[in-house]
């Protein structure tokens, strides 16, 4: 059992032994190793000898450097990280076609339809909207942005109607082909308020979801 320590310079996969470290709490030999990628890492002698550890971890990570995703070209693996539940994932440094540098995780790069920087995303979303003739997911964006009241609307406020039978004001909102009832109100002001709140909630989230790109 009492064999010689590993000689500095001995290679295991991408790792080269630098020097022996203090033994771990179980009395096992450990070495500081330099990985070909430039990272230093402490490894148990057992894991080196048995071939369990062959890199600092970079071998197991897929190398995306040089690959293109949408408008992004991956330049390098950065030391920035993004949270994923209780864990965190490394971020790739990417250059957007516009010249901006942005940082994205592997899952985002692989699952985003067209990856780009956060400056390009809203411009791209706007272009997409025009391409789709203003229709996205059943909602016409020109209608969202249009605050003019409907012509045959007795209240004068878009989406708010006076109902002569009940004598109340009713608020409605058409969103993604569904007509949402926002309730009946004694006062015009309350009906208008309900309509405004619903507009902000539904349209705001909707426009956010179009422009949003994760890290």
Binding site for Zn ion (CB under 5 A): 35, 37, 39, 55-56, 58, 96, 98, 100, 117, 120
Write down the least CB distance from residue 16 to Zn ion, Å.
Answer: 11
Cβ proximity to Zn ion: between 117 and 192 the closer is 117
For the chain, how big is the Rg over CA atoms in Å? Answer: 30
Q: How far apart are CA 187 and CA 151, in angstroms?
A: 21
Strand blocks (E) in 85-177: 87-96, 101-105, 135-136, 139-140, 160-163, 168-175
What's the closest the beta carbon of residue 209 comes to Zn ion, in angstroms? 20
- List Cβ<8 Å contacts ≥24 apart for 48-54: 48/6, 48/12, 48/15, 48/17, 51/12, 51/13, 53/12, 53/13, 53/15, 54/12, 54/13, 54/14, 54/15
Nearest CB to Zn ion, comparing residues 109 and 173: 109
Buried-state track 72-90, b at ≥16 Cβ within 10 A, e below 16 = bbbeebeeeeeeeeeeeeb
Q: Which is nearer to Zn ion, 59 or 144 (CB)?
A: 59
**Closest distance of CB 160 from Zn ion, Å:** 41
Q: Please give the Cα distance from 16 to 113 (Å, whole number).
A: 40
Closest approach, Cβ 14 to Zn ion, in A, equals: 6
Closest separation in Å from C-beta 115 to Zn ion = 10
Minimum separation from the CB atom of position 123 to Zn ion (A): 8
Which residues on neighbouring strands pair with residue 87, listed in sequence order? Answer: 84
Cβ proximity to Zn ion, 98 vs 133, nearer residue = 98
| Residue among 98 and 211 whose Cβ is closer to Zn ion | 98
């Amino acid at each position: 059992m009492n064999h010689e320590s590993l000689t500095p310079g001995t290679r295991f996969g991408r790792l080269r032994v630098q020097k022996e470290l203090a033994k771990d709490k179980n009395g096992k030999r450990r070495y500081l190793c330099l990985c070909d990628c430039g990272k230093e890492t402490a490894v148990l002698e057992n894991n080196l000898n048995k071939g369990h550890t062959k890199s600092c971890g970079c071998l197991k990570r897929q190398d995306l450097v040089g690959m293109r995703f949408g408008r992004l070209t991956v330049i390098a693996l950065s030391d920035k990280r993004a949270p994923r539940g209780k864990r965190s994932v490394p971020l790739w440094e990417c250059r957007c076609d516009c010249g901006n540098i942005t940082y994205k995780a592997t899952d985002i790069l692989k699952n985003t339809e067209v990856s780009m920087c956060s400056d390009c995303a809203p411009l791209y979303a706007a272009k997409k909207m025009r391409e789709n003739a203003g229709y996205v997911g059943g909602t016409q964006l020109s209608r969202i942005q249009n605050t003019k009241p409907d012509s045959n609307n007795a209240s004068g406020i878009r989406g708010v109607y006076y109902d002569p039978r009940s004598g109340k004001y009713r608020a409605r909102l058409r969103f993604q082909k569904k007509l949402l009832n926002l309730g009946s109100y004694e006062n015009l002001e309350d009906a208008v308020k309900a309509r405004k709140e619903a507009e902000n909630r539904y349209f705001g989230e909707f426009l956010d979801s179009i422009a949003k790109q994760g890290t």
